[in-house]
Amino acid sequence: MKTPKIKLKFLIALFLLNGVINELKAQENLSFTKIIQADSMSKTDLFININDWFASVYNTSNDVIQMADKDAGIIIGNGVLFYKPKRLDLKSYGGHIEYTIKVYIRDNKFKVEMTNFRHFGSGYSFGNITTAEMHKTTGLSKNDYNRGWNDVKTKIEAYCTEIFVSLENSVKNTNKNENW
């Protein structure tokens, strides 16, 4: 009769482990990635153009770029996104969001990763921004926190899309401006 108890304990342990794994997946850091094609452009040309883009988009690329290795084809930088919510009830979350941007470069293409988003608000800071759907699951103000949490994530996603488009356009326009 010990076998059914062991099976029951095993099933309970398996069920609990599944819940923990799902919770961990929900806590992964938020990140956005895009691979951009740049036909007929060498790794060196792309590296130079993307470095130029960093200098143009960020006021001082020296403050942003943490690593730039032309041979390895990688540029890593840290940036800041200023966050100002439009809704009055979210004003205490206004502040800034720090992030890491990585660009991996090969011949004819490059990959842009934006990761490690950290929110610092004037009244309340969320800290690391994850893929979790809710920031708080309990408490009197959980709905307010979750509205702010989702607004921050929406702003980050829109910003990443802008960065991807800006980088892609910059590289494409560089090709057109070579014949001066």
Looking at residue 131, its pLDDT comes to: 95
What mean pLDDT value characterizes the chain?
87
Is 141 part of any domain?
Answer: yes
Is 14 within the bounds of a domain? Answer: no
Residues near 118 by beta carbon (within 8 Å), at least 6 away in sequence = 97, 98, 99, 127, 128, 129
Residue 43 lies in a domain: yes
Look at residue 24 and tell me whether its pLDDT is greater than 90.
no
* Residue 71 pLDDT level (bands cut at 50, 70, 90): very high
Predicted local distance difference test score (pLDDT) of residue 87: 86
Residue 66 belongs to some domain of the structure: yes
- Whether this prediction's pTM lies above 0.75 is answered by yes
62 in a structural domain: yes
Given a cut of 90, whether residue 88 has pLDDT beyond it is no
Residue 25 confidence (pLDDT): 47
Structural domain includes residue 79: yes
Model pLDDT for residues 123-151, shown as the tens digit of each residue:
999 999 999 999 887 777 888 889 999 99
The CATH code of the domain that includes 160 is 3.30.530.80
Exposed/middle/buried for residue 126 (C-beta within 10 Å: 0-12, 13-18, 19+): buried
pLDDT the model gives residue 18: 54
Helix (H) or strand (E) holding 129: none
The answer as to whether 12 is a domain residue is no
- Whole-number Å distance between alpha carbons of 159 and 40: 28
Expressed as residue numbers, the domain containing 47 is: 29-176
Residue 163 inside a domain? The answer is: yes
Number of domains in the chain: 1
| pLDDT over threshold 60, residue 21 | no
